[in-house]
Each structure stands twice: as structure tokens, then as C-alpha cells.
Amino acid sequence: MPKLENGLKALVSSLADSPLEGIEQSVSIEVQTAPNPADLTPGEALIAIRSAGLSWVDLLMTSGQYQHMPTLPYTPGMEFAGDVIAVGADSDAIWLNQPVFVDCFSVGPRSSGAYQHAGGFASYAVVPVSVIRKIPTDWTYDQACNFAGNYETAYHCLVTRGQLKADESLLILGASGATGVAAIQVAKSLGARVLATTRTAHKVEQLKQLGADHVICTQGESDGDVRRFRDDVKLLTDNRGVDCVYDGVGGPTSLEAIRCTRFGARFLIVGWASTPDVARGRGRRGAPNANRIPTNLILMKSLDVLGCPAVISTKHDPSLRATRQDDLLLWAEQGRIKPYISHRFQLQNLKEALLAKWTGDIIGGCAILAPDLPLRQT
């Protein structure tokens, strides 16, 4: 094989006080020395990365405000897709020259093992062949690397925890987010009726096109205010309230959403995008600013409040993973789900991309593109 050209990689070398500071202070773009294919150990593959998904978690990790902290320095980018350009001895050569994506729980910064350093915001990654997956038919690299984290989260919340059924009503908070759009598609795939929320008026039509049956704008009179939207929900549910809430937003939006539920509803705790400073910055442990929800309403409304950690749950019950991966790949092949990507950025512009994520400009997925492949082979 010809010698490979050096590439680029992002590096997080220190932890900031907040994600916003992290974008400015913690993330740099460096030269990546091209791996030598001859150094691959048995069972390894070398991937020329084409595209990597940008996630809210990538942002939180720059300040250590996410529950899982990779060892510094690390290359961010939990999910990535590209071409297998070399395999080690005893590796399954069937993957050679194939377009693939990787299992983001097993390599990269969200993983715990020996391949944690193999993040996706880079030109190359060396990974075990066992984590390589075939890209679903007709999907692009950008779609493949905005898949597993988002759709496995939506599946874990709505199927495993929420037990969502056909014809039930679901209120999705933060529906324009990466996991939010995945939740719309998973819920529609299950036959549920989706009520979606957004703060942002110009996202309303787009969310309808992405499958939401109704979209409610939650923006109050001044910036950051959440308006009373329980009446909108009651109107859309014959005054009953929804059967289930998917809450990826937290804060005042959650408090209003509790009032949108029917008696005996399920309230799925997915995340808290509106309150990113729940935990201390710089990786200090503890959560002094944790969200609080009123126990009186939980009692009176007989709510089932369910925590839904997609990765942690699989540590406690590894059997959860195979079923959800199989179901999602089947739905992908059947065309029932397909990641939507609103923004693409070159790797060199990673800071701009992180800022767009922080300010909520992105709808669904975001792709970070590695420098063009032909430039990397001599």
C-alpha cells in the first residue's frame, strides 16, 4: 500500500468551566501523523474517516460536565463513518475498501477500553474489526455517523423504558435535537401520535416535514421564557393530556410538560439540554444544579417517571443492546428511519460547528467532514 499522507485531528487537552468556554479554550486542531498500516495488530482495521457526527455530549465533555470522562488528551467525535483502507493480520479482509460506520459505545471518547483515543474528528482511526458496521442501504456517511447514539437513545427511551404503543400520544420536548428527531421517527415507526415542542418558530414547519403530527412553539414573551403550553396540548388531546413525555430539555420546559400529562402517564427523563450546568465544570464530580420536579404532581397525576440512560443501561444489562441494534438496522433497511442532517462543517471549522450546536441552530444531525480522501494518499 502507498504511504499515507498526514491528516488532521481535533484534540481536547484540558477541561473548561463550561461547554462555551470549552469551545474556545479546550479544543484545538492538530496534524495527525498517518498511521502505518504495517503497524496494525491482528484484528485491527484502519479507517479513513469521511464524516463524524457532532453530539451534545461532545460539547459537554469539553468541560467534564458529562458523566463519562475520557482520559486527557483525547480526540472528540463519538460516531464516525469512512472507508476501511487496511486491515491487520487475521482481520476479516471482507471489510477492506468498504464504507462503514463504527459502534460508538465501543471505540472513541464515549468508550472505556483501549480504543478510547480513536475519536471521529480526525482523518484516520485504528479500530478493532469487531466494532465495524455496514452502512444501511442508500445511507450516506453523514447519515451513518448520526445514527447509533441518537436512535439507540430514542429506542431505549420509547421502546424499552416508555413501552410506547400505536395510537398513544407522545410529547417530545426539544424535538429538533439530534435525539429529538430520532424520537419523532421511532415514535412514528411505532404508530404513535407525536406532539413536538421547539423554542424556535422557524423550526415548526421543518419538524412537521420530519414527521411530527403537531408542533408547539414554547417560546415565551422574552428570550429564554417558556410560555404556558398545557392548553395547546389539552386541545390536541381532547382535554386528556398526553400518554407519554420524552424530555430531553429539562428546566422550566419540563415543569410545564408535567402539566400536559394525563393521569397515569409516563414521563421519560432523557436529558437536560436547557440546563447544561447541572454538574460542576472542569470535571469536578457532583451535580449541585440538578433539575427538580415536583413530587406533588407526580403523586396526584400518578405519573411513572423513568430515567432512560441509553449507554449505562447496557452496562447493567448487556442483553439490551443486540435487540435494539437489530430492530433499528431493520427499520433503517425498511426506510422507517433515516437520520436528517441540517448542517455540515469541515473539520478545520469544528469550533464553528460546536458553537452552532450550543446555540441550537442545528436540526437533527450535524456532520464534521474530514479533509478530502484523495489528498491523503500519495
Ligand X SMILES: NC(=O)c1ccc[n+]([C@@H]2O[C@H](COP(=O)([O-])OP(=O)(O)OC[C@H]3O[C@@H](n4cnc5c(N)ncnc54)[C@H](OP(=O)(O)O)[C@@H]3O)[C@@H](O)[C@H]2O)c1
Binding region for ligand X (CB under 6 A):
55-57, 153, 174, 176-180, 198-200, 203, 248-249, 253, 270-274, 308-310, 357, 360
> Rounded to the nearest 5°, which phi and psi values hold at 243?
-75, -25
Shortest distance, position 376 Cβ to ligand X, whole Å: 30
Q: Which is nearer to ligand X, 255 or 298 (CB)?
A: 255
Q: Is the CB of 94 or the CB of 312 nearer to ligand X?
A: 312
Q: Nearest distance from residue 41's CB to ligand X, in Å?
A: 32
d(CA 215, CA 248) in angstroms, rounded, equals: 16
Least spacing, CB of residue 363 vs ligand X, in Å: 7
Q: Taking the complex as a whole, how short is the minimal distance between the CB of residue 86 and ligand X, in angstroms?
A: 32
Of residues 341, 312, 356, the one with CA closest to residue 146: 341
Report the Cα 376 to chain-centroid distance in Å: 29
Of 4 and 310, which has the nearer Cβ to ligand X? 310
Q: 80 near 125, Cβ under 8 Å?
A: yes
Question: Would you say 75 or 176 has its CB closer to ligand X?
Answer: 176
Q: Are 79 and 55 in contact (CB under 8 A)?
A: yes
- The CB-of-189 to ligand X minimum distance in angstroms stands at 18
Q: Are 118 and 126 in contact (CB under 8 A)?
A: yes
- Pairwise CA distance, residues 249 & 252, whole Å: 9
Q: Give dist(CA 251, CA 280) in Å, integer.
A: 17
8-state DSSP, 348:
G
* Alpha carbon separation from 26 to 97, 116, 356, 370 (Å, rounded): 34, 18, 17, 20
Q: How far is the CB of 96 from ligand X (least distance, A)?
A: 32
Q: Residue 126 pairs with which residues in a beta bridge?
A: 46
At 174, list the grid cell.
426539544
Residue number, 359 or 378, with CB nearest to ligand X: 359
> Of 177 and 281, which has the nearer Cβ to ligand X?
177
